[in-house]
């Protein structure tokens, strides 16, 4: 019945709220252009009300395609619903929401907001190449996924005010094709990595809370024009491991990444055995300014390719003057602070 409505006409598909533990059990659905899928409860997706639990979609076990497949579709809104992958046995499978690769150069214009996605057999949301202008926002919660919270190979996307946790791979994974993207005001916790960026361009990560990853908080590989600003990092959730960094910048050489105004903090509940290897690690130059480091947390480390690592953990705040790390200085300062002489 759901697919018949989606295929037959436009407008809004209103899913009535049902009692706790009940909902609409369905296999893969194809989402055409200009559809609005939403719940009917005005009280939000996590609250009970007189009508029961808010609208829920359950993914039929054993399905081989994505629950909601919007490949090639434009102007779609999904809001105020709970999407449960029912992956109780923790087996690998398809994503919950999938917008596949397309040659369409126009705006995809999907907006996903106020949605709970959990127990996904694969990625909660997967965005393929050729798509533009996908926004995921509001009180959207993504957790307990067998792959990534969000997998991105699309451009001009914006993710804000999300909570993403307990994903087997990355909270957010950017792959080649993901460029000119903004992540703002998100909380990511207890994933293998918080945000992984591979061979991308023009990514901004601003004002996020990145907490207790199993490996890196942010891992960027061969990425151009990367800004990491005003984020809050806490240590790895694993035992002390020098391979686990809050920020790891690997082969980001085309333009120097900008790391500005971040806080690296070890909360009172974290033991000294759960510190990151380093707050910031890069084998290549990067620009750092205005970052704040709690005493006892390693500040930064750089490796010139010689195998010799430099670690600083005495100065706890760099202030506002930019520092170019792992770069050759123009001239060596004298003891008076002047250049040359």
**CA Rg, the chain, in Å?**
22
Average of per-residue pLDDT across 173-182? 87
Alpha-carbon distance values, 115 to 28, 139, 200, 235 (Å)? 18, 7, 27, 28
Q: Which helix (H) or strand (E) holds 53?
A: none
Which tokens sit at 223? 């990425």
To which residue do tokens 């990355």 refer? Answer: 170
Q: How far apart are CA 37 and CA 301, in angstroms?
A: 48
Q: Is the pLDDT higher at 277 or at 140?
A: 140
Q: What share of the chain is helix, strand, coil (3-state, %, to 5)?
A: 5, 45, 50
On the 0-12 / 13-18 / 19+ scale of CB atoms within 10 A, 314 is: exposed
The pLDDT assigned to 10 comes to: 64
Q: How far apart are CA 252 and CA 226, in angstroms?
A: 9
Q: What percent of the chain has pLDDT over 90?
A: 38
Which tokens sit at 217? 């908080």
pLDDT grade, residue 13 (50/70/90)? confident
The pLDDT assigned to 24 comes to: 84
Average of per-residue pLDDT across 69-86? 91
Q: How far apart are CA 227 and CA 208, in angstroms?
A: 12
Q: How far apart are CA 325 and CA 300, in angstroms?
A: 9
Position 97 pLDDT exceeds 70: yes
Average of per-residue pLDDT across 156-176? 94
Spatial contact of 128 and 108, defined as CB atoms under 8 Å apart: no
Which tokens sit at 218? 């942010």
Position 311 pLDDT exceeds 70: no
Name the CA dihedral angle for 36, 42, 47, 52, rounded to a multiple of 10 degrees: -90
Q: Which helix (H) or strand (E) holds 3?
A: helix 2-8
Q: Which helix (H) or strand (E) holds 37?
A: strand 35-39
Closest CA to 173 of 203, 145, 149: 149
The number of helices, as runs of H, and strands, as runs of E, in the chain is: 1, 35
Spatial contact of 114 and 88, defined as CB atoms under 8 Å apart: no
Position 187 pLDDT exceeds 50: yes
Neighbours of 282 (CB within 10 A): 26
pLDDT in tens, 128-162: 988 888 999 988 999 999 999 999 999 899 999 99
Asked whether the CA dihedral 328, 220, 186, 273 is positive or negative, the reply is negative
The pLDDT assigned to 107 comes to: 76
Position 307 pLDDT exceeds 80: no
Which tokens sit at 132? 């533009």
pLDDT in tens, 235-268: 765 544 556 788 988 888 768 889 999 998 877 6
Instruction: Fill in the DSSP letter of residue 274.
Output: G
pTM: 0.85
Q: How far apart are CA 197 and CA 204, in angstroms?
A: 11
Which tokens sit at 169? 């791979």
The upper half-sphere exposure of residue 65, i.e. CA atoms within 13 Å in the direction of its Cβ, equals 12
Spatial contact of 29 and 2, defined as CB atoms under 8 Å apart: yes
Spatial contact of 96 and 85, defined as CB atoms under 8 Å apart: yes
To which residue do tokens 């909570």 refer? Answer: 163
């Amino acid at each position: 019945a759901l697919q018949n409505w989606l295929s037959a006409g436009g407008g809004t598909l209103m899913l009535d709220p049902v009692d706790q533990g009940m909902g609409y059990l369905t296999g893969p659905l194809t989402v055409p252009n200009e559809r609005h899928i939403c719940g009917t409860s005005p009280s939000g997706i996590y609250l009970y009300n007189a009508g029961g639990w808010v609208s829920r979609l359950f993914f039929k076990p054993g399905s081989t395609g994505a629950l909601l497949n919007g490949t090639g579709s434009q102007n779609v809104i999904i809001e105020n619903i709970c999407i449960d992958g029912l992956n109780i046995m923790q087996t690998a499978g398809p994503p919950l929401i999938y917008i596949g690769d397309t040659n369409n150069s126009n705006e995809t214009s999907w907006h996903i907001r106020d949605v709970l996605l959990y127990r996904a057999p694969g990625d909660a949301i997967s965005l393929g190449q050729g798509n533009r202008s996908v926004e995921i926002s509001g009180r959207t919660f993504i957790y307990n996924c067998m792959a990534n919270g969000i997998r991105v190979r699309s451009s001009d996307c914006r993710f804000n005010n999300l909570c993403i946790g307990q994903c087997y791979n990355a909270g957010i994974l950017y792959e080649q094709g993901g460029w000119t993207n903004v992540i703002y005001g998100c909380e990511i916790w207890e994933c293998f990595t918080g945000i992984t960026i591979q061979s991308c361009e023009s990514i901004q990560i601003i004002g996020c809370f990145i907490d207790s990853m199993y490996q890196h908080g942010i891992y960027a590989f061969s990425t151009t024009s990367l800004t990491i600003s005003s984020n809050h990092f806490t240590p790895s959730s694993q035992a002390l491991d020098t391979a686990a960094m809050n920020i790891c910048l690997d082969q980001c050489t085309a333009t120097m990444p900008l790391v500005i105004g971040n806080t690296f903090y070890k909360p009172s509940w974290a033991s000294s055995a759960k510190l990151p290897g380093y707050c910031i690690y890069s084998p290549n130059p990067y620009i750092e300014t205005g970052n704040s480091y709690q005493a006892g947390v390693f500040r930064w480390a750089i490796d010139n390719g010689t195998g010799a690592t430099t670690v600083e953990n005495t100065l706890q705040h760099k202030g506002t003057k930019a520092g170019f790390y792992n770069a050759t200085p123009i001239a060596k300062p004298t003891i008076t602070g002047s250049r040359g002489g």
